[in-house]
Structure 1
């Protein structure tokens, strides 16, 4: 499975990193494998099926995420002015505070085997790869710490379940735990795909076997990523450029041309 990433500057050193919105077969197959009821979950976890590609912890996480998605969709359909509608509005305000870099790292699936990186033709390919490695390395450290921090807060927020109102703090911390875990795993996968498999030896006395292994590893590493300069993206950037950076209309044109999530990309512009 190959993921298509689009990288371009918003304003100065503030770059946008996003994944193209493309329906994948793996996502549909994962949705079909995830149990929909507790009984199915119990049967799947304790069944000895060696062909199952999903681990038991991942099944629990996917089951919980599906339940949260269904509950969120129920809040979206709530009548205007109702209590559920107000909870949905609060959730939207909380979600708007999530950094766009976290959304990008979360979008990197666990089963991706290679990436195609599209960037403006005026940028240097080495610089693009270096910026991708930086956001992946930084994300692996930050979201790992945030994940452990969220886990420690879960027991504290669970105390509020005794109240007659919905335990919003608990569900928010539960979501942040899952979100940071996904971003941490996505950063690890991205770092694996954009990094070289091995470093070339600096010594002048390198035997032939070591040289062959080094060349093989480098070929394998480069096969995991494709750096694709785009003249179309370069033209769209010039067309939408303003004094304070890339305009909103320019961003929407790029999102339309490369199948990007407009809300995620606009968050980068708001963070400048």
Structure 2
């Protein structure tokens, strides 16, 4: 496998794993079987033009789009158990990144942050999802419609487990020094003309010497995900990157709006004090 670090804004990075030469498992696990059945069922519902199946798909896609891009990125990284042969052989994992944005000497620190900052969150939510499963089980008595709350909690539990496994895999690779940073010429070309304050991005990402008043800005924008995915010959990256861009841009706009509202309130408060 190999990892990619793709800066979305001057403070946020998407990590994505590309699996190479993945052999089909000799014996299918229950998780694989369940995932395959769910995928086929969902694909069938997506073809419906109306009915409750269509509504479930629409609401489901809406919910999936709002699952944090960080979680999707960590889920792309396989559990350590899936790479026993490579790990026992001491095989190193290459990490590709745009050196025009992320200097090589900071890559390990960026990886460490991405691999550890969400572990506690995924552990807690995995536990709560498991606790909620038996509580939602009685909904199965409702005729015709499947027990959607239960299946949603099963999916979220699996999703948090995969993200947690991915983060622990990163942590393991760093601990065993099985990571090789490699600047990507393709990514350098893509990011070269962005003209962003990359030093701010780096300082924020590594939590060293942060600039308090720095403004977060988008580095890549809507519509560029497909271009990057095609340049890297990774069509599956398109949807992940597009989701990350949408979420980060929305977050920045929300923070900007909140800041403006606070400044207006502050100005109005000062005017009121002067009148008194």
Question: Normalized against structure 2, the TM-score is what?
Answer: 0.71
Hey, what does 1:271 align to over in structure 2? Answer: 247
Q: Does 1:74 align with 2:50?
A: no
Q: Distance in 1 between matches of 2:237 and 2:185?
A: 21
SS in structure 1 of the partner of residue 224 of structure 2: helix
- Gap change, CA 1:187 and 1:143, over 3 Å in 2: same
Q: CA offset at residue 263 of structure 1? A: 1.3
Unaligned residue ranges in structure 2 (runs of 5+): 87-91, 197-216, 249-276
Hey, what does 1:237 align to over in structure 2? Answer: 191
Residues 94 and 182, structure 2, Cα contact 8 Å, conserved in 1:
yes
Correspondent of 1:226 among 166, 173, 180: 180
Q: Does 1:14 align with 2:8?
A: no
Q: How does 1:1-272 map to 2 (within 5 A)?
A: 3-20=1-18, 22=19, 24-26=21-23, 29-30=24-25, 33-34=27-28, 59-77=29-47, 79-110=48-79, 111-112=82-83, 113=86, 114-122=92-100, 123-164=102-143, 165-193=145-173, 195-197=174-176, 221=177, 224-239=178-193, 244-258=218-232, 259=234, 261-272=237-248
Q: CA offset at residue 148 of structure 1? A: 0.7
Hey, what does 1:43 align to over in structure 2? Answer: none
Cα RMSD, aligned residues only: 2.1
Q: CA offset at residue 125 of structure 1? A: 2.1
Q: Distance in 2 between matches of 1:101 and 1:146?
A: 15
The count of aligned residue pairs is 215
Q: CA offset at residue 84 of structure 1? A: 1.5
Q: Distance in 2 between matches of 1:163 and 1:121?
A: 55
SS in structure 1 of the partner of residue 97 of structure 2: strand
- Gap change, CA 1:85 and 1:254, over 3 Å in 2: same
SS in structure 2 of the partner of residue 118 of structure 1: strand
Q: Distance in 1 between matches of 2:221 and 2:192?
A: 10
Question: Normalized against structure 1, the TM-score is what?
Answer: 0.72
Q: Distance in 2 between matches of 1:8 and 1:174?
A: 30
Q: Distance in 2 between matches of 1:177 and 1:244?
A: 31
- Gap change, CA 1:75 and 1:98, over 3 Å in 2: same
Residues 75 and 166, structure 2, Cα contact 8 Å, conserved in 1:
yes
